[in-house]
Structure formats: structure tokens, C-alpha cells
Amino acid sequence: MAESDPIVGIIMGSQSDWATMKHTTLTLEKLGIAYEAKIISAHRTPDRLSKYAESAKDRGLQVLIAGAGMAAALPGAAAALTPLPVLGVPMDGKVMGGLDALLAMAQMPGGIPVGTLAVGKAGAVNAAVLAASIIALSNEDVAASLDKFRADQTAGVAEEPED
């Protein structure tokens, strides 16, 4: 497998999720992790979802990150179709500030987990960092990138606030 083959699969329910999910891709790029990003809706494109999730592991993906809003069924439905870890990013929609999507993702039935992150940009960034932590367990290059990412982040925090 070529080094640039994606090992993280990012899926999102709609083009409207991209502004948030772009932060996942930017963070994975900082971490040097190859990814692919697709629009797949649990409700509007169910066949696309089943084909994608059922083939994900055999195609070499190690973690799936799913962003969705409103009913936010995408990560849960993907988790039902693959043994890969699935991380969910709730979109901050107009309704309840994204609380609807957060609860939909977190409240999975026992046995089919979705690792649910914070609503919106913070969750999109953290999904990438958490994916790196998972992959780093068996990948020394990603482990080194993650160590550097965290060290750079720490070094970037000023000791005192300024105007």
C-alpha cells in the first residue's frame, strides 16, 4: 500500500457540513495523516453509505470520522456496518445549537459505539486528534507527529494575556 493511501475516512451528511468538517481535514494535514473526504447521507444516500462502510476496512481505512447534523444518523449507521472505530462530529445547526445532533450521536444502543466529540469546530479538530491517537498505537510516524502537534500546541500558549 502506498504511503499516501488514505487511512482515515471522513464522511459528512451534506455539503453544508463541509465548513465544519474542513477543520478535520486541516488538522489531519498538520498531523501528516492521509485521508479521504466524501459526502454520504444516511437518509439521502443509504446505498452509498452501505457500500462505503462495508468496504472501508478492506480498503485500508483505520478510523472513520462522520459529521452530521439534525437527526445525525450517519455515524451510528456507519458504526453498524463496520468494525472500525467511528468518531462522530455533531454540527452546530440552527436547532438547539447542535444539541439535537449531539444527543443523536451519543445515545447509541449498547454494542454499537460512536465516539462522539464536541459540537462544531472543536469536535471537528478533536476528531482528527483522537483519530491520530488511535492510529499512533500502531504507527510510529503518526505517534511522532502527534507528539510534535501536542508540543507545538503547548508552546503556542502564552503565559499572559495581551490586548
Contacting positions for ligand RP5 (CB under 6 A) = 13-14, 16-17, 41, 68-70, 91
User: Rounded distance, CA 18 to CA 141, Å?
Assistant: 28
Q: Which is nearer to ligand RP5, 99 or 151 (CB)?
A: 99
Q: How far is the CB of 58 from ligand RP5 (least distance, A)?
A: 26
Report CA-CA distances (Å) from 130 to 43, 154, 160: 27, 17, 28
Q: Which is nearer to ligand RP5, 69 or 115 (CB)?
A: 69
Torsional sign, CA 67, 73, 80, 123 = positive
Q: How far is the CB of 125 from ligand RP5 (least distance, A)?
A: 18
Cβ atoms of 149 and 125 closer than 8 Å: no
Q: How far is the CB of 71 from ligand RP5 (least distance, A)?
A: 7
Q: Which is nearer to ligand RP5, 124 or 135 (CB)?
A: 124
Q: How far is the CB of 8 from ligand RP5 (least distance, A)?
A: 18
Q: Which is nearer to ligand RP5, 81 or 135 (CB)?
A: 81
Q: Which is nearer to ligand RP5, 17 or 87 (CB)?
A: 17
User: Rounded distance, CA 107 to CA 97, Å?
Assistant: 17
- Tell me how many degrees the CA angle 59-61-66 measures, rounded to the nearest 5: 120
Q: How far is the CB of 107 from ligand RP5 (least distance, A)?
A: 17
Look-up of cell digits 479521504: 36
Closest CA to 7 of 145, 116, 119, 108: 145
